[in-house]
């Protein structure tokens, strides 16, 4: 007796995905692929911690588990990879995956240095594979609504922009000693840099001035730990932006963005989970989101659905792999976006070290945009 076809003839084969790194973020992405992204299949998981990878695979029904990402890259049955290992492995894994012909979704940051990221993006280019970086805020409904307004000119010419990340916390950071150096810029504010760049799309970040400190864990200041930062950014169109981050907001996970321009203001994000308010004798209160996977549950799902659509389009030879055709604004964050935001984070590190403003190295990204507009 022969097997019945799992996929009816004429139906599209699912996009098969291998997960590389199955920790906090990887496990959530794995669950999204397995349960929330139609037309995608979680085929394999690679993590040196095979025990937890095996446990995750059995819950989600992934048939292949390995300690070594190379096994996934060599697997002809896998179309694409999601890279959610620690950041120090990202650019090497991107380059290896591209060389193996796999389409790549990589968590931010896509690398920790511009040279390594440029090499990875060159490998992506040479292989002709699709590349997307995990700037999930672009997929949050309110940020996308704001972007749509900005693209339509609602705020006019951008003059002042702001973006903030306040991670939920308890007022202390128990694992602080294990947080890699400069995480506040390379892994946290990098989201804000992308949001600001996306909101101020036709301009390039020219210069940053960053101040950072250990205000949540002052005892770790001497070891170079930083949990709080403010960055001012000058853009090539004259706009001035502020990005700020804290690793510990007692009231929950707080992500906001704003553009003020010649015609008005557009805002995205709010500190509260819903618009419901509770009024009692003690005053007014509202619930707040506590985790990134609560606030951005749908955005994390939608970024992977966008990725799967793009991979399917490439694999099956159909045309577009970018934003939905009805959208009049850019959406999918790619290599240039990953590099531009990383260049800002690296300039922030230099700024903190020097105590002065530092120019952003966007040379390899899009010098045309800088040249077109007046650089102050």
Ligand X SMILES: NC(=O)c1ccc[n+]([C@@H]2O[C@H](COP(=O)([O-])OP(=O)(O)OC[C@H]3O[C@@H](n4cnc5c(N)ncnc54)[C@H](O)[C@@H]3O)[C@@H](O)[C@H]2O)c1
Q: Is 168 near ligand X (CB under 6 A)?
A: no
User: CB of 334 within 8 A of CB of 131?
Assistant: yes
Q: How far is the CB of 367 from ligand X (least distance, A)?
A: 28
Span 117-146, contacts to ligand X by CB under 6 A: 134, 136
Q: Is 194 near ligand X (CB under 6 A)?
A: no
Q: Positive or negative, the Cα torsion across 333, 343, 351, 158?
A: negative
Q: How far is the CB of 231 from ligand X (least distance, A)?
A: 18
Q: Is 21 near ligand X (CB under 6 A)?
A: yes
Q: Which stretch binds ligand X (CB under 6 A): 21-29, 73-81, 140-148, 251-259?
A: 21-29
User: CB of 21 within 8 A of CB of 86?
Assistant: yes
Of residues 51 and 282, the one with the C-beta less far from ligand X: 51
Q: How far is the CB of 228 from ligand X (least distance, A)?
A: 18
Q: Which residues contact 359 (CB under 8 A, 6 or more apart)?
A: 206, 207, 347
Q: Is 367 near ligand X (CB under 6 A)?
A: no
Q: Is 48 near ligand X (CB under 6 A)?
A: yes
Q: How far is the CB of 165 from ligand X (least distance, A)?
A: 9
Q: Residue number with the shortest CB distance to ligand X?
A: 23
Q: Is 218 near ligand X (CB under 6 A)?
A: no
Of residues 96 and 237, the one with the C-beta less far from ligand X: 96
Binding residues for ligand X, how many (CB under 6 A)? 23
User: CB of 208 within 8 A of CB of 233?
Assistant: yes
Span 277-336, contacts to ligand X by CB under 6 A: 292
Q: Is 69 near ligand X (CB under 6 A)?
A: yes
Report the distance separating Cα 293 and Cα 246, nearest Å. 18
Of residues 291 and 313, the one with the C-beta less far from ligand X: 291
> Pick from 50, 55, 89, 213: which binds ligand X (CB under 6 A)?
89
> Pick from 41, 75, 107, 217: which binds ligand X (CB under 6 A)?
107
Q: Is 66 near ligand X (CB under 6 A)?
A: no
> Pick from 15, 17, 25, 173: which binds ligand X (CB under 6 A)?
25
What are the φ and ψ backbone dihedral angles of 324, each rounded to 5 degrees? Answer: -55, 145
Q: How far is the CB of 3 from ligand X (least distance, A)?
A: 32
Of residues 40 and 45, the one with the C-beta less far from ligand X: 45
Q: Which stretch binds ligand X (CB under 6 A): 24-32, 119-127, 151-159, 212-220?
A: 24-32
Q: Is 208 near ligand X (CB under 6 A)?
A: no
Q: Is 14 near ligand X (CB under 6 A)?
A: no
Angle between helices 24-31 and 50-60 (to 10 degrees): 20
Q: How far is the CB of 96 from ligand X (least distance, A)?
A: 11
Of residues 65 and 155, the one with the C-beta less far from ligand X: 65
Query: Which residues of the chain form contacts with ligand X (CB under 6 A)?
Result: 20-26, 46-49, 69, 84-87, 89, 107-108, 134, 136, 187, 292
């Amino acid at each position: 007796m022969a097997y019945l076809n799992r996929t009816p003839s004429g139906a599209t084969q699912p996009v098969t995905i291998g997960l590389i790194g199955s920790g906090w973020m990887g496990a959530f992405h794995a669950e999204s692929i397995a349960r929330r992204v139609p037309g995608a299949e979680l085929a394999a998981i690679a993590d040196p911690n095979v025990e937890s990878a095996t446990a995750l695979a059995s819950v989600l029904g992934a048939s292949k588990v390995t300690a070594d990402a190379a096994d996934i890259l060599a697997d002809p049955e896998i179309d694409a990879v999601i890279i959610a290992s620690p950041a120090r492995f990202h650019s090497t894994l991107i380059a290896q995956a591209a060389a193996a012909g796999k389409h790549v979704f990589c968590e931010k940051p896509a690398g920790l240095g511009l040279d390594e990221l440029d090499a990875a993006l060159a490998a992506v280019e040479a292989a002709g594979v699709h590349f997307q970086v995990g700037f999930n805020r672009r997929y949050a409904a309110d940020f996308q609504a704001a972007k749509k307004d900005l693209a339509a000119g609602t705020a006019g010419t951008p003059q002042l922009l702001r973006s903030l990340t306040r991670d939920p916390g308890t007022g202390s950071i128990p694992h602080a000693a294990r947080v890699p150096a400069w995480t506040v810029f390379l892994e946290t504010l990098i989201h804000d840099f992308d949001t600001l760049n996306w909101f101020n799309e036709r301009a390039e970040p020219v210069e940053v001035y960053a101040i950072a400190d250990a205000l949540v864990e002052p005892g770790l200041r001497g070891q170079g730990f930083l949990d709080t930062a403010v960055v001012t950014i000058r853009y090539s169109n004259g706009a001035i932006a502020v990005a700020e981050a804290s690793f510990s907001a007692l009231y929950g996970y707080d992500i906001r963005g704003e553009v003020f321009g010649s015609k008005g203001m557009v805002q995205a994000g709010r500190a509260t989970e819903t618009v419901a308010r509770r009024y009692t004798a003690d005053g007014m209160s509202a619930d707040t989101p506590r985790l990134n996977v609560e606030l951005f549950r749908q955005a994390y799902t939608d970024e992977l659905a966008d990725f799967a659509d793009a991979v399917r389009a490439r694999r099956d030879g159909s045309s577009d792999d970018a934003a939905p055709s009805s959208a009049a604004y850019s959406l999918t964050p790619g290599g240039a976006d990953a590099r531009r935001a990383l260049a800002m984070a690296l300039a922030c590190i230099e700024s903190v070290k020097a105590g002065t403003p530092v120019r952003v190295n966007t040379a390899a990204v899009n010098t045309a945009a800088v040249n077109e507009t007046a650089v102050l």
